[in-house]
């Protein structure tokens, strides 16, 4: 499959679709009933008609690639089809009430929150859920605050100063741990790509607050020794944290709570197909074991007889979002889970795993670690994985995640998800295989069919131009 | 009923029975369960007990659930504001090339979103006067929290204190405390007077241990802060950063943050682009150029492609968590990019004059409504002898709680902010109901 992306440019020069400021800038003098000293003098923003704007943004959309444009097998990011009806549900007037409304006037919202808390608890095997964290990393940070509160309540707050993170973990894990004020202890992986139990035993101790783990891990491998891992961490007095990035691989087959995890976050924009929106909003609800429920962010929602009410957990950490998190994303999550039910969730996971295994069997790049679940990490071998990615764009597919995890050289971390049919997987494999056979020169000059040719990212960092105000300089 | 051929399982997995069988065969296993490398001892063999629904049934059920919310006309603000969102915003932002895309790690194929985010950053630069705006934080509270972390990193001398006004919303303060506790900062409040910063109290609280002073304009009580430059000077005298909380509508009218010495501007930019959304937001974050390498979150910059054409790309990613790990400037990864797109479209729709007009209406609507409430016997509005923006506090001789609940019974929502105080917010979305609101207020406040 070949692909040519839209590209809009002016005849007069080589600029792409002009910036709004290049179309029509208009400075106005600010006049107000307020005293002059309280107001600004002027404001200069573009001033265009609605039809002009409709075209501008439509053109920009045509210069952008989404999951509805084609395959998007970004490992660990779990890009899957976003059902359209969930957008309509989130746009219902009842979804968009003010957060300070009285309990009695928002029983529908509270019922939905309660229902989603319950759905997520069942899916994760957790005892209590908070919907508040506005993203996966925010969920991690919230989990860390909850763990800290737990240790402090046990009189071990000062002693437990370390969080252990595998070297293959997402960068958000160590960043969230550092934000929580913890020292990060990086745990090297064993030769089979999994947690090295000896290394873990050596790393845990009286100062361990938390061990953060993704399962299946970022190589797509299930941590088979998970019960032993849980024992090692718990025996040392630490807690076990589940990074929900790969939950799509386990739906209906294993639950973090059953594996011994004490805290987890759900990336609802991954597992439950709420749109990624070009980088967000997502949402990162967290689930915890019952011993930790009293520390969850406030408020949570409970049902008392026929009425839903907000309540503050007894020893709550307070808040991690000014109001209630990314509510509209949570509405979409609820709609998605309700649409699929047990049967659909379990099937999604089964087909995601089947697709990853099928695609891996069809590509010629080496896949050093197997068996795997919903994603696999191939090695580009002698080729530069970043170049491979750029060349794949010419074949009409978004490339895999590249150069990570570092445990595989020139990594191509691939996750087709359940939404692709066999024909598309075959096309994906053909793209991989065509690129594998190409020479370095072809790869280095790719892409050629996209809106922009290869972009000099280093120059963007050297010569910083971060607003249109800097372009005349 | 389901679309397509997937009559069982996930409606969004396209596999037919034959296709599944052929793929299993190609992989070399008998059935899909064989692919799950999960020890029996942790296998889940139960059920969630979540019933599957058709699309139509899911939608109907959720319509019914959300329909349980009472249909009230909201005169609510206090940190979450609604303005009319033009249809253009929904229709463009819902284009699936935008909505269903990921972070722009492959810039060649995501120029459209990158340009839109670059334009968003540029609009905030114009509105704040500061040189750098990032491509979004989660909301006002988390942006404020990140600004304190920025301050503690960039300040030349060490210090641990973050000063905030006592009017700061409890939710914002809690988020700020949660973010700053790990890095060892403490949050302290200074007094306010008649809704605004009490300069004497602030001056007394200042010492060399302060890393940041925060104030809002407009304030949580809807007043316009009159001494911003003095607050900035007090902060700078002690080498602390001055962080100002606001929003893009207010920025169109009120003093430019750069002109009052602001080092960081935070706030909720979703006042444009999103409806009330039960508190969902868009964290605005702008700062000075000198701090660019310490900025949290994503930045879109300009570069060139191989044909020397202008092109956009994420830049300075070495600050970010996926590269720098525990030494990153922030743990944020998924941000609010799509909301930023919506806000940018809304700002572009209004243009300079439209945005200034909208902001001026926030002043005059509040003035007019306060005057009409003040005419009611037993009501004094506004209680603060200040200029106001969108909202104000009114004193009621009768206790506030029954007034608020009586109003709610009659279809209107306002904040109760004291035993005899309510707070009322008016913008273009509820101005049509002002007449009825005043009549009812007169009835219930008697």
**pLDDT at residue A428 in the model:** 97
For B370-376, which contacts have Cβ atoms below 8 Å and span 24 or more sequence positions? Answer: B370/B394, B370/B424, B372/B434, B372/B438, B373/B424, B373/B438, B373/B441, B376/B438, B376/B441, B376/B442, B376/B445
For A46, the enclosing helix (H) or strand (E) is strand A42-46
Whether chain B has a CB inside 8 Å of the CB on A73: the answer is no
A390-423 pLDDT per residue, tens = 999 999 999 999 998 888 999 999 999 999 999 9
Query: SS3 for B244?
Result: strand
**pLDDT at residue A429 in the model:** 97
A38 φ, ψ to 5°?
-100, -5
**pLDDT at residue B5 in the model:** 46
**Do the chains contact at A456 and B256, CB–CB below 8 Å?**
no
B362-384: average pLDDT: 98
Supply the mean pLDDT for chain B. 96
**pLDDT at residue B159 in the model:** 93
For A148, the enclosing helix (H) or strand (E) is helix A136-153
Query: What's the burial of A314, exposed, middle or buried (CB within 10 Å: 0-12/13-18/19+)?
Result: exposed
What is the distance between the alpha carbons of residues A182 and A175, in angstroms, rounded to a whole number? 10
The residue behind tokens 């034959």 is B18
B99-116: average pLDDT: 98
Strand-pair partners of B42: none
Strand-pair partners of B193: B196
The tokens for B421 are: 């105080």
**Do the chains contact at A101 and B280, CB–CB below 8 Å?**
no
Q: Is the pLDDT of residue B15 over 70?
A: yes
B59-101 pLDDT per residue, tens = 999 999 999 999 999 999 999 999 999 999 999 999 999 999 9
What's the start-to-end Cα distance of chain A, in Å? Answer: 42
A302 φ, ψ to 5°?
-135, 165
> With contact defined as beta carbons under 8 Å apart, do A27 and A44 qualify?
yes
B196-212 pLDDT per residue, tens = 999 999 999 999 999 99
For A40-44, which contacts have Cβ atoms below 8 Å and span 24 or more sequence positions? Answer: A40/B252, A40/B253, A40/B254, A40/B255, A40/B256, A40/B259, A43/B126, A43/B127, A43/B252, A43/B352, A43/B355, A43/B356, A44/B126, A44/B352
What is the distance between the alpha carbons of residues A87 and A333, in angstroms, rounded to a whole number? 10
Nearest to A45 among B123, B141, B320 (CB): B123
With left for phi above 0 and alpha for psi between -120 and 50, is residue B281 left, alpha or beta? beta
Query: What's the burial of B204, exposed, middle or buried (CB within 10 Å: 0-12/13-18/19+)?
Result: exposed
Whether chain B has a CB inside 8 Å of the CB on A8: the answer is no
Q: Is the pLDDT of residue B2 over 50?
A: no
**pLDDT at residue B8 in the model:** 67
Residues in chain A: 473
Residues of B in contact with A85 (CB under 8 A): 55, 58-59
Question: How many angstroms away from the CA of B6 is the closest CA of chain A?
Answer: 10
CA–chain centroid gap for A381, Å, is: 28
Confidence of residue A370 (pLDDT cuts 50, 70, 90): confident
**Do the chains contact at B339 and A281, CB–CB below 8 Å?**
yes
**pLDDT at residue A371 in the model:** 84
Q: Is the pLDDT of residue A357 over 70?
A: yes
Omega before A250 within 30 of 0, i.e. cis = no
Distances (CA, A) of B271 to A51, A324, B246, B432: 23, 16, 10, 19
Q: Is the ipTM of this complex over 0.95?
A: yes
**pLDDT at residue B3 in the model:** 45
The tokens for B380 are: 């004094």
**pLDDT at residue A472 in the model:** 74
Closest residue in B to A161 (Cα–Cα):
B182
A289-301: average pLDDT: 98
What is the distance between the alpha carbons of residues B196 and B198, in angstroms, rounded to a whole number? 6
Nearest partner of B337 among A135, A246, A267, judged by Cα: A135
């Amino acid at each position: 499959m070949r692909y040519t992306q839209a590209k809009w440019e002016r005849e007069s020069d080589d600029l792409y679709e002009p910036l709004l400021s290049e179309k029509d800038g208009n400075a106005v003098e600010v006049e107000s009933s307020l005293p002059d000293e309280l107001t600004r003098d002027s404001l200069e923003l573009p001033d265009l008609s609605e039809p002009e704007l409709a075209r501008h943004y439509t053109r920009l959309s045509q210069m952008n690639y989404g999951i509805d444009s084609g395959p998007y097998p970004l490992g660990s990011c779990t890009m899957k089809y976003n059902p359209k009806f969930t957008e309509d549900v989130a746009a219902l007037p009842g979804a968009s009430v003010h957060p300070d409304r009285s309990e009695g006037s928002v029983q529908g919202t509270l019922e939905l929150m309660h229902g989603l808390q319950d759905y997520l608890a069942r899916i994760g095997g957790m005892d209590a859920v908070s919907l508040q964290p506005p993203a996966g990393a925010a969920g991690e940070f919230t989990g860390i605050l909850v763990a800290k509160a737990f240790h402090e309540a046990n009189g071990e707050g000062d002693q437990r100063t370390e969080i252990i993170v595998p070297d293959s973990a997402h960068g958000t894990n160590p960043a969230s741990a550092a934000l929580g004020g913890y020292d990060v202890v990086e745990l090297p992986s064993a030769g089979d790509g999994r947690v090295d139990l000896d290394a873990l035993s050596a790393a845990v101790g009286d100062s361990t607050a938390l061990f953060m783990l993704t399962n299946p891990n970022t190589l797509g491998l299930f941590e088979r020794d998970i019960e032993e891992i849980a024992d090692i961490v718990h025996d040392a007095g630490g807690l076990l944290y589940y990074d929900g990035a790969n939950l799509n691989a386990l739906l209906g087959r294993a639950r973090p709570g059953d594996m011994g995890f004490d805290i987890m976050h759900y990336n609802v924009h991954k597992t439950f197909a709420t749109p990624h929106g070009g980088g967000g909003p997502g949402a990162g609800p967290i689930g915890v074991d019952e011993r930790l429920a009293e520390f969850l962010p406030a408020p949570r929602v409970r049902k008392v007889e026929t009425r839903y009410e907000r309540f503050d957990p007894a020893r709550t950490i307070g808040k991690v979002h000014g109001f209630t998190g990314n509510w509209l994303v949570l509405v979409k999550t609820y709609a998605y889970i309700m649409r699929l039910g047990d049967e659909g969730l379990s099937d999604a996971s089964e087909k995601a795993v089947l697709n990853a295994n099928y695609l891996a069997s069809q590509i010629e790049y080496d896949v050093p670690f197997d068996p795997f679940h919903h994603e696999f990490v191939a090695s580009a071998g002698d080729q530069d994985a970043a170049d491979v990615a750029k060349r794949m764009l010419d074949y009409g597919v978004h490339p895999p995640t590249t150069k990570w995890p570092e445990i595989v050289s020139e990594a191509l971390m691939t996750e087709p998800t359940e939404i692709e049919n066999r024909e598309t997987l075959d096309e994906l494999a053909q793209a991989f295989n065509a690129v594998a056979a190409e020479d370095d020169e072809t790869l280095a000059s790719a892409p050629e069919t996209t809106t922009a040719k290869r972009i000099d990212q280093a120059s963007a960092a050297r010569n910083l131009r971060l607003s249109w105000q800097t372009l005349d300089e | 009923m389901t679309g397509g051929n997937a009559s069982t399982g996930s409606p969004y997995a396209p596999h037919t029975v034959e296709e599944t069988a052929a793929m299993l065969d190609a992989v070399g296993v008998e059935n899909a369960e064989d692919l799950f490398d999960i020890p029996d001892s942790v296998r889940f063999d139960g059920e969630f007990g979540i019933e599957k629904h058709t699309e139509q049934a899911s939608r109907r059920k959720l319509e019914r659930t959300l329909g349980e919310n009472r249909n009230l006309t909201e005169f609510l603000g206090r940190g979450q504001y609604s303005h009319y969102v033009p249809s253009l915003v929904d229709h463009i932002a819902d284009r699936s090339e935008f909505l269903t895309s990921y972070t722009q790690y492959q810039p060649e194929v995501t120029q459209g979103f990158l340009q839109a985010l670059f334009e968003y950053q540029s609009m905030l630069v114009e509105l704040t006067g500061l040189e750098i705006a990032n491509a979004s934080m989660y909301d006002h509270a988390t942006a404020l929290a990140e600004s304190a972390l920025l301050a503690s990193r960039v300040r030349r001398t060490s210090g641990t204190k973050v000063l905030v006004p006592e009017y700061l919303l409890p939710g914002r303060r809690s988020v700020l405390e949660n973010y700053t506790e790990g890095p060892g900062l403490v949050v302290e409040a200074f007094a306010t007077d008649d809704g605004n910063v009490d300069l004497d109290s602030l001056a007394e609280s200042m010492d060399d241990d302060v890393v940041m002073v925060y104030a809002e304009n407009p304030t949580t009580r809807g007043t316009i802060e009159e001494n911003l430059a003095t607050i900035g000077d007090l902060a700078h005298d002690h080498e602390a950063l001055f962080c100002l909380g606001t929003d893009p509508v207010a920025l169109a009218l009120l003093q430019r943050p750069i002109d009052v010495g602001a080092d960081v501007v935070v706030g909720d930019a979703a006042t444009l682009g999103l409806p009330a959304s039960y508190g969902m937001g868009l964290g605005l974050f702008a700062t000075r150029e000198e701090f660019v390498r310490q900025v949290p979150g994503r930045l879109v910059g300009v570069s060139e492609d191989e044909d020397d054409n202008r092109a956009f790309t994420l830049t300075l990613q070495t600050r970010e968590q996926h590269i720098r790990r525990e030494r990153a400037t922030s743990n944020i990864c998924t941000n609010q990019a799509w909301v930023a797109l919506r806000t940018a479209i809304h700002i572009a729709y209004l243009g300079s004059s439209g945005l200034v007009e909208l902001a001026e209406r926030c002043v005059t609507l509040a003035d007019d409504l306060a005057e009409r409430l003040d005419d009611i016997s037993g009501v004094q509005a506004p209680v603060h002898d200040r200029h106001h923006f969108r909202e104000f506090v009114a004193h009621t001789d009768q206790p506030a709680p029954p007034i608020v609940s009586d109003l709610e019974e009659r279809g209107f929502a306002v904040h109760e902010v004291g035993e005899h105080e309510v707070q009322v917010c008016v913008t273009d979305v509820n101005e049509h109901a002002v007449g009825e609101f005043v009549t009812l207020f007169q009835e219930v406040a008697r």
